[in-house]
Amino acid sequence: MADQVNVATNEKETNGVQQNQRPQFTHTPHGDFSEMTIGQYAQAFGGALQPGAWRPYEHRKLANPAPLGLSAFALTTFVLSCINMHARGVSAPNVVVSLAFGYGGLVQLLAGMWEVAAGNTFGATALSSYGGFWISYGILLTPEWGITAPDGPYAGNVASVLGFFLTGWFIFTTILLLCTLRSTVAFFLLFFTLDLAFLFLATEQYASDLGNKTAALALQKTGGLFGFLAAFLAWYNALAGIQDSSNSFFQVPVIHFPWSEQARERRASKPERAQA
């Protein structure tokens, strides 16, 4: 049976939104906020890996783990993307192994587990999964494992296997992308550019398997470019999640899609302000 919970007044300004008064809402043990209007209480916000009407449980005393996970993802993706673009002539990805295990892998996975505790299903799924991606990618690049070695189990067919690996992540990222269509522009663009990065890097492996080195190089650099953009978009969303009035003199813009509930409310409020 649902029980009524009175939410205390909170004067803190978060992400450019002044929350001076909060209404009552119905809370169940499963976190069902179905009786709460979207614009009234919860907002889509990339800084919390929050694609829709989600709000953490009121009794939790956890910090927002999303900026940590986004930062771990961004830095690791940035380094790998620079290598994929052959920046300064560097093309060997071995340096990414340490980041893949330590920061992009372990730290991002931990952030995903903290999202589980916070009750954010999307954030938990995204951060935990991409943390697993970096750990598995680090394993593939570790010479001692010999998975992609010339004399390994996939000798002569490594490119196709890596293509399957990246194609799977392209499909998964597409699923997450569909869940950001009612979110902010920066949050959507993060997954859009990441999706294209996986697509181009997967096709690069297939082109390499066919022996088309020219096409493979072009696809690799294109995938690196989109990964580069995804890294900075992840940092942008992380900054939006870290900034508030207590630590910054400004806040980065959080732009909602025109069809989102927040955008419709702002358009509806403009005539009211004009009449006043």
Q: Is 121 left (phi over 0), alpha (psi -120 to 50) or beta?
A: alpha
Of 112 and 39, more confident: 112
Task: Give the chain's mean pLDDT.
Answer: 83
Summarize pLDDT for 36-64 with one digit per residue, the tens. Answer: 343 433 567 787 787 765 555 556 677 89
Residue 110 DSSP code? H
All structural domains of the chain with their residue ranges: 66-242
Summarize pLDDT for 88-105 with one digit per residue, the tens. Answer: 999 999 999 999 999 999
- Cα-Cα-Cα-Cα dihedral of 164, 168, 174, 180, to 10°? -140
Q: Which of 44, 42, 115 is nearest to 73 (CA)?
A: 115
Judge residue 13's burial from the number of C-beta atoms within 10 Å of its C-beta, 0-12 exposed, 13-18 middle, 19 or more buried. Answer: middle
Q: At what angle do helices 158-178 and 121-141 cross, to 10 degrees?
A: 170
Quick one: pLDDT at residue 65?
95
Q: Which of 194, 55, 172, 74 is nearest to 125 (CA)?
A: 172
Tell me how crowded residue 156 is: count the other CB atoms within 10 A of its CB: 10
Quick one: pLDDT at residue 155?
83
Structure tokens at 135: 């750990």
